[in-house]
Amino acid sequence: MSHVFPRHTKSELPIAAGGDGCYLIDSAGQRFLDCGDAAVSCLGHSNEAVIKAVQEQVAQIAFAHTGFMTSEPAETLADLLIEHAPGDLDRVYFVSGGSEATEAAIKLARQYYLETGQPERCHVIARRQSYHGNTLGALSAGGNEWRRAQFAPMLIEMTHIAPCYEYAEKTDGESSFDYGQRVANELETEILRLGPETVMAFMAEPVVGATLGAVPAVEGYFKRIREICDQYGVLLILDEVMCGMGRTGHLFACDHDGIAPDILCIAKGLGAGYQPIGAMLCSGQIYDAIRDGSGFFQHGHTYVGHPVATAAALAVVRELTSRDLPARAGVMGDKLQSILENRIGQHPNVGDIRGRGLFRGIELVSDRDTKTPFDSSLGVAGKIKKAAMGEGLICYPMSGTRDGRNGDHILLAPPFVIEDEQLVELVDKLERAISSVI
């Protein structure tokens, strides 16, 4: 009997025993095309440069606490990230994963306003149907009811506006642009309702991953959000934990929207699965306020800037940038979109196929005309996940995402090194899995 505490306590999991490019291999030798381990694996499973970097670093020095010393890989990685980062992002704070990055961002925003003499600023506004992590602060920012429900009495009070979810919420006759402006303007309404002098930050994902299934904002939405934040002195925190690091066709997803945040959170693809690592990038203005004020960010974890994790991430970012892999994700993503549209676009239960780069979502509905979601008791997404595993495909189906109703979607996030024939293999397997369930 296993003593590991699995997430699903009633199911037996295969044992991951090997990796080969885009495939995970279990202990029985079955190969799984890895297209959705929560959008982590951007380089595939056997990248020699990253493996070598980890081996060399662990042999040289495994750990040095950043309260006492910094390390070469952490310094070089921060330089490289800043060289490519949008806007005036100027400093990098390393953490061990996505939730730690969003938690740190919330606390940094708070401390920035304390240092600059605006202690009444403490409200965070985020969006419904969003996910920013599972620790209590990050969960408070997230607007996904299913994830929040059990812990509701313990959550920090934060408020949520509408997401930018064109497929489900744009009204008939409204242009995409007008829809985007309308939902962006909800931010202004909410800031005015709370009192601008009390609001410190707005947090959002440029392309919504786990809760909606690769939903990008419409053109102009984030420009309007940036304007509103600037007008009221509210910090813009972008959560690119899932959509960042090249997945959408740009190294940073917000590059597509032509805006830059004040604080940017990344994780997943940063370590590409070779090490657990995340990061929070912040503007020079925020950093300087703390340096020139108390001189101490009142936050920290033991493994901040871990040398082996940063060495792995440095090798990952060098691979991404030197091989122009974000652009490849863009090209392969467009191909994936058209194969999906050709092969399953007419399925009576496929409502929408969308996304950017190698970050694609398929929304499943019981009725395409009315866009009516499946009843959650049917567990459509869970059944497809199981059927896909049986076919040798790891994808990321989720259900229960729409407020007040249920919705099922499948998220696809293959490694950027995926080849043409593997895109076809992906869709072959997915098509069989879907048609075995609905």
The contact set with ligand PMP (CB under 6 A) reads 38, 97-99, 102, 131-133, 205, 209-210, 239, 241-242, 267
Asked whether the beta carbons of 142 and 130 are under 8 A apart, the reply is: yes
What is the SS3 assignment for 297?
Answer: coil
If residue 77 lies in a helix (H) or strand (E), which one and from where to where?
A: helix 72-84
Task: Give the number of C-alpha atoms closer than 13 A to the C-alpha of residue 250, restricted to the C-beta side.
Answer: 15
- Nearest distance in Å: CB 244, ligand PMP: 9
Q: 345 vs 382, which CB is nearer to ligand PMP? A: 382
- Nearest distance in Å: CB 105, ligand PMP: 10
State the residue for tokens 């293999």: 425
Q: 104 vs 184, which CB is nearer to ligand PMP? A: 104
Who's near 371: CB < 8 A, 6+ residues apart?
A: 167, 168, 351, 365
State the residue for tokens 């708070």: 110
Provide the phi-psi class of 251: left if phi over 0, else alpha when psi is between -120 and 50, else beta. Answer: alpha
- Nearest distance in Å: CB 240, ligand PMP: 8
State the residue for tokens 């300087």: 288
Who's near 415: CB < 8 A, 6+ residues apart?
A: 21, 22, 34, 41, 42, 43, 44, 358
- Nearest distance in Å: CB 205, ligand PMP: 5
Q: 86 vs 276, which CB is nearer to ligand PMP? A: 276
- Nearest distance in Å: CB 7, ligand PMP: 12
Q: 133 vs 326, which CB is nearer to ligand PMP? A: 133
- Determine the residue type at 226: R
Q: 212 vs 336, which CB is nearer to ligand PMP? A: 212
Helix%, strand%, coil% for the chain, nearest 5: 40, 20, 40
- Nearest distance in Å: CB 276, ligand PMP: 8
State the residue for tokens 């984030």: 222
By Cβ distance, which residue is nearest to ligand PMP? 98
- Nearest distance in Å: CB 156, ligand PMP: 16
118 is written with which tokens? 């605006």
Q: 105 vs 427, which CB is nearer to ligand PMP? A: 105
Q: 131 vs 416, which CB is nearer to ligand PMP? A: 131
